[in-house]
């Protein structure tokens, strides 16, 4: 899935539940019964990604919100998307 484009849209898969646990979260894939834990930053990333019209829009919001190097943020964001997609927790659409 390294062919991600910043113009693509990321959203939770239909069979995935997201449970917030005091700032952190757990994503549960109902099909595979696997779960994936996210820390506070990962939780914020997936929340923004799910609501944003594109990865680029989510990136811009996160860059404004956190004091972080832009290149590092982009790498972390794309890595998170790849990991979640590998586990069937998110779907990536668009081109």
Q: At what angle do helices 70-86 and 40-51 cross, to 10 degrees?
A: 80
Cα 81–Cα 77–Cα 6 angle in degrees, nearest 5 = 80
pLDDT at 3 (0 to 100): 82
Domain enclosing residue 69, as ranges: 9-90
Has residue 83 been placed in a domain?
yes
For the stretch 14-29, pLDDT in tens is 999 999 988 899 999 9
Indicate if the pLDDT at residue 91 is higher than 60. yes
Distances (CA, A) of 82 to 1, 13, 29, 87: 6, 14, 16, 9
pLDDT at 2 (0 to 100): 61
Q: What is the mean pLDDT of residues 26-53?
A: 94
Q: How many domains does the chain have?
A: 1
Q: Flag whether the pTM goes above 0.75.
A: yes
Instruction: Please report, for the domain that includes residue 71, its CATH number.
Output: 3.90.930
Backbone angles phi, psi at 27, to 5 degrees: -105, 130
pLDDT at 49 (0 to 100): 96
Has residue 1 been placed in a domain?
no
């Amino acid at each position: 899935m390294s062919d991600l484009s910043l113009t693509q849209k990321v959203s939770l898969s239909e069979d995935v539940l997201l449970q917030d646990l005091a700032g952190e979260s757990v994503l549960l894939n109902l099909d595979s019964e696997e779960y994936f834990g996210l820390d506070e930053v990962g939780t914020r990333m997936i929340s923004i990604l799910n609501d944003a019209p594109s990865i680029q829009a989510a990136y811009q919001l996160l860059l404004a919100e956190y004091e972080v190097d832009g290149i590092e943020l982009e790498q972390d964001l794309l890595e998170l998307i790849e990991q979640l997609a590998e586990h069937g927790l998110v779907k990536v659409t668009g081109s």
